[in-house]
Amino acid sequence: MPEQQYSIGQLAKAAAVPTSTLRYYERAKLITPDFRTGGNYRGYGARALERLKFIRAAQGAGLSLTDIGELLAMADGESPACDDVMGLMRRRLAEIRARIEELKQVERVLSGTLDKCCKGADPDICAEIHRLSGVTLKTPAANKSSAKA
């Protein structure tokens, strides 16, 4: 039984991605046409579809295209080393955990800023924006000061 052959449009449809994505992956050396037709059109086999599905699944798991390229290079090697795959995955997980910690810090700062905004507390971003625009902002703290006078 002959292997399924796909044009770029057919492969894109089978993988539910735009053809522009396939061309991008080709430029990034993640996927290559298996053959060229007589009219020099790209042609792909079933292996390309499986590779494309792997790329999309790996992206969905949070891996970068660089990570995916490394994994595909391992798959294309003589015998993929589980230690190498696990090492890449551990590094990526550590990077993601570090990014989560950074985002938690940003969340704390933004939350604190929102709690203090327009209340005369420091830092009061709203007051700073108004100051920079040359408009005086009436804050609750300013209202209390003017009431005592």
Structural domains in the chain, CATH included, are 5-80 (1.10.1660.10)
Predicted TM-score (pTM) of the model is 0.66
What whole-number distance in Å separates Cα of residue 122 and Cα of residue 131? Answer: 14
Report pLDDT for 146: 47
| pLDDT (mean) for 100-114 | 92
Residue 119 has pLDDT above 70, yes or no: yes
User: What is the pLDDT, as a whole number, of residue 2?
Assistant: 67
pLDDT tens readout for residues 4-55: 899 999 999 999 999 999 999 999 999 999 888 888 888 999 999 999 999 9
Q: Decide if pLDDT at 148 tops 70.
A: no
Residue 138 has pLDDT above 70, yes or no: no
| Rounded Cα gap, residues 89 and 133, in angstroms | 48
Beta strands in 37-148 (DSSP E): 42-45
Please name the residue that has the structure tokens 């190498």: 84
* 114 or 98, greater pLDDT: 98
31 and 23 Cβ atoms separated by less than 8 Å: no
The predicted model gives 123-135 an average pLDDT of 76
Query: Tens digits of per-residue pLDDT, 66-89?
Result: 999 999 988 887 776 788 888 988
Give tens-digit pLDDT for 43-67: 999 999 999 999 999 999 888 999 9
Rounded CA separation 121/142 (Å):
11
Those residues with Cβ within 8 angstroms of residue 141's Cβ, 6 or more apart along the chain or in another chain? 119, 120, 121
